[in-house]
């Protein structure tokens, strides 16, 4: 007998469903992109599972996505022969939102709608977009490897409840039937659906089939038309030669894989042949993903082996400081059943990693050189992440250092516009060090008494106010043979820049104030190491400096703040 069970959606799911339907209406077409992307993921996962058991996908029939429609019934059908779902998986994957970031998604939905419509792919709520155009959705599915009697039928109007039923389903995979809302009938149209697929899903590597057009009644009667046609190009874009690809194609591909509405800033596309053969197509986004600072956040480089998607990079391929890079790496050398453990020790992966990092850094250097506005945009979004590379990637330290941008006492605004090369080029005659000041904020930096003498002498000082800057200066230590020197540490002397006259004045003053200094020292015993007379200050009466080999005061303050 048929048993239908009623379930409630998780509370967040109801909220999301509701908001989505209302706020994404102006982008309603995206439902198809989301459902096709799920179908394609399901096929990728089936492929992997079969590979792990060393069965060829062909043995199970041609893998494809099929899109159908029925004008009269007002339905659209999306069917795949991918991995399918068990009953438990349906409850887990469709009835609940497991992923983080839903709160963020809800907030973003209330903002600029156009931007958010393209972002839903990032939040793991794509399936729900089907309710933008449907009053009822019926999903039937069977997990690969389960018996035909273990099929599942899920149905919902997206209002708070869904029903589940165990059914007989001979074929593996998932079929989704959308019952269109009143007024959405125009979507149940071959031409319309094809144009949506071309727009959003051309790069899906699985063939997307649609019933062929029946040109006229005679043809239909003769049965000569109506055979399936493949709507998408189903080609791996990265495998095509660079010369054949247009910027539009790259941009579309990026938006597709990154789930981002904006075009990338730039990309690297290279085919490497040698000890190891692989292709890489890596994009630098134009803005940071919402989870750039979430540890364990999703990465965006997908590893393929001979064009089959294998896994998403979790740090084996690109280092953490380049976690914002999106793209594809396709290797011919790795085994198809490669796992994360194998990746870890693989020489091929080591080689890919080295090259990929170098290529990205080189592309960034080119961008800084030839398109400075774009580079400024890049730095604004990702500069802080890139700075981590100074401490994390010793072998590319110099390349990364060249890419750094800081605010300095010579900057016109608060924007970081000074490279170390520019600083070095502006160094005063006789200046030996690259001077910097660490401060909790740029306002604090600019008003620091430590800068007075440097200002008077016209010596530029880099103003560092990000947490990560502490690690940058303590790891970098020098650039172009010039030591980095904090103006807040030790004597903070100007080296050869201090002139003879100053030295004499100081000697005189030291003698003159010896008595006062002695009293101050006695008074501050146990709190200050020393009390010295300084020539660095021009308007402030006193300032605190740290003992030379000791840790910087700014760092101490920060560490206290973090409770370390
Ligand atoms: P996401 O794709 O980001 O995970 P979705 O809301 O689009 O979020 O889908 C939720 C989950 O439902 C998927 O992760 C997957 O586990 C499951 N799912 C959706 N569609 C299918 C399908 N066609 N075949 C198998 N599983 C699917
Ligand atoms: Mg999805």
pLDDT of residue 555: 60
Residue range 92-126, pLDDT digits in tens:
888 776 555 666 666 666 665 545 555 565 566 78
- How many helices, marked H, and strands, marked E, lie in the chain? 19, 19
- Taking the C-alpha atoms of residue 329 and residue 356, their distance in angstroms, rounded to an integer, is 9
Nearest to 287 by CA among 326, 247, 327: 326
Q: Is the pLDDT of residue 215 over 60?
A: no
Ligand nearest to the CA of 298: 1
What are the structure tokens assigned to 288, written together? 């940071």
Q: What's the whole-number mean pLDDT along residues 207-234?
A: 68
Pseudo-torsion of CA 342, 59, 201, 17, nearest 10°? -80
Name the residue at shortest CA distance from atom 19 of ligand 1. Answer: 38
268 φ/ψ sector (left φ>0, alpha ψ -120 to 50, else beta): beta
The ligand that comes nearest to the alpha carbon of residue 89 is 1
Of 297-301, 453-457, 551-555, the poorest mean pLDDT is in 551-555
pLDDT in tens, 290-311: 888 887 777 889 888 877 777 7
Cα of 225 vs centre of ligand 2, distance in Å, is 33
What's the average model confidence in pLDDT over 133-153? Answer: 96
Closest C-alpha residue for ligand 1 atom 12 = 93
pTM of the model: 0.64
* Ligand 1 contact, 39 CB (< 6 A): yes
Which DSSP letter does residue 406 get?
B
Cα(331) to centroid(ligand 1), Å: 27
- For residue 80, the ligand 1 atom closest to its alpha carbon is 23
Ligand 1, atom 15, lies closest to the CA of 93
pLDDT digits over 430-449, tens only? 899 999 999 888 888 888 88
Residues 438, 443, 444, 449: is their CA dihedral positive or negative? positive
Least distant ligand from the CA of 86: 1
125 is known to lie in a ligand binding site: yes
What ipTM is given for this predicted complex?
A: 0.99
Of all atoms in ligand 1, which is nearest to the CA of residue 39? 23
Decide whether any atom of ligand 1 lies within 6 Å of the 34 Cβ: yes
Does the pLDDT value for residue 156 go beyond 80? yes
Q: How far apart are CA 323 and CA 393, in angstroms?
A: 13
Question: Which of 30, 32, 35, 38 should be mutated for ligand 1, with most atoms under 8 A from CB?
Answer: 38
Give yes or no for residue 38 CB within 6 A of ligand 1: yes
């Amino acid at each position: 007998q048929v048993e239908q069970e009623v379930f409630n959606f998780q509370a967040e799911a109801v909220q999301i469903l509701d908001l989505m339907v209302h706020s994404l209406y102006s982008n309603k077409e995206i439902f198809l992109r989301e459902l096709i992307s799920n179908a394609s993921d399901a096929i990728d996962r089936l492929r992997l599972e079969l590979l792990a058991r060393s069965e060829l996908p062909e043995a199970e029939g041609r893998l494809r996505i099929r899109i159908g429609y029925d004008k009269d019934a007002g339905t659209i059908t999306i069917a795949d022969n991918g991995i399918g779902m068990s009953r438990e998986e349906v409850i887990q994957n469709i009835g609940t939102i497991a992923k983080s970031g839903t709160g963020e998604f809800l907030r973003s939905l209330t903002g600029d709608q156009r931007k958010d419509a393209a972002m839903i792919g990032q939040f793991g709520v794509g399936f729900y977009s089907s309710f933008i155009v449907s009053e009822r959705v019926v999903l039937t599915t069977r997990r690969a490897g389960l018996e035909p009697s273990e099929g599942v039928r899920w149905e919902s109007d997206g209002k708070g409840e869904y029903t589940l039923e165990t059914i007989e389903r001979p074929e593996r995979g998932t079929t989704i039937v959308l019952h269109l809302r009143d007024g959405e009938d125009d979507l149940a149209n071959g031409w319309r659906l094809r144009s949506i697929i071309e727009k959003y899903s051309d790069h899906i590597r699985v063939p997307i089939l649609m019933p062929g057009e029946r040109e006229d009644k005679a043809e239909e009667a003769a049965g000569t038309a109506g055979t399936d046609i493949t709507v998408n190009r189903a080609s791996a874009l990265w495998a095509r030669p660079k010369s054949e690809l247009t910027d539009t194609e790259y941009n579309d591909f990026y938006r597709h894989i990154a789930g981002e509405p904006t075009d990338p800033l730039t990309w690297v596309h290279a085919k490497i042949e040698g000890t190891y053969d692989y292709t890489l197509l890596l994009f630098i986004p134009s803005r940071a993903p919402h989870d750039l600072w979430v540890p364990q956040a999703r990465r965006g480089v997908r590893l393929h082996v001979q064009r089959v998607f294998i896994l998403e990079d979790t740090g084996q391929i690109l280092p953490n400081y380049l976690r914002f890079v999106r793209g594809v790496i396709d290797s011919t050398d790795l085994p198809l059943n490669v796992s994360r453990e194998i990746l870890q020790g693989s020489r091929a992966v080591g080689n890919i990693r080295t090259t990929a990092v170098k290529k990205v850094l080189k592309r960034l250097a080119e961008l800084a050189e030839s398109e400075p506005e774009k580079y400024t945009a890049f730095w604004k979004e990702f500069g802080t992440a890139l700075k981590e590379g100074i401490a994390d990637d010793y072998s590319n330290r110099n390349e990364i250092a060249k890419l750094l941008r800081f605010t300095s006492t010579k900057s016109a605004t608060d924007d970081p516009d000074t490279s170390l090369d520019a600083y070095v080029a502006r160094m005063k005659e006789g200046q030996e060090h690259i001077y910097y000041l660490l401060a909790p904020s740029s306002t604090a930096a600019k008003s620091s008494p430590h800068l007075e003498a440097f200002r008077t002498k016209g010596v530029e000082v880099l103003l560092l106010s990000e947490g990560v800057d502490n690690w940058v200066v303590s790891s970098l230590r020098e650039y172009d043979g010039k030591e980095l020197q904090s103006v807040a540490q030790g004597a903070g002397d100007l080296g050869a820049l201090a002139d003879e006259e100053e030295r004499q004045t100081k000697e005189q003053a030291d003698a003159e104030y010896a008595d006062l200094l002695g009293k101050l020292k006695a008074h501050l015993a146990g709190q200050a190491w020393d009390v010295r007379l300084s020539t660095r200050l021009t308007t402030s009466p006193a300032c605190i400096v740290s003992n030379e080999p000791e840790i910087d005061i700014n760092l101490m303050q920060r560490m206290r703040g973090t409770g370390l």
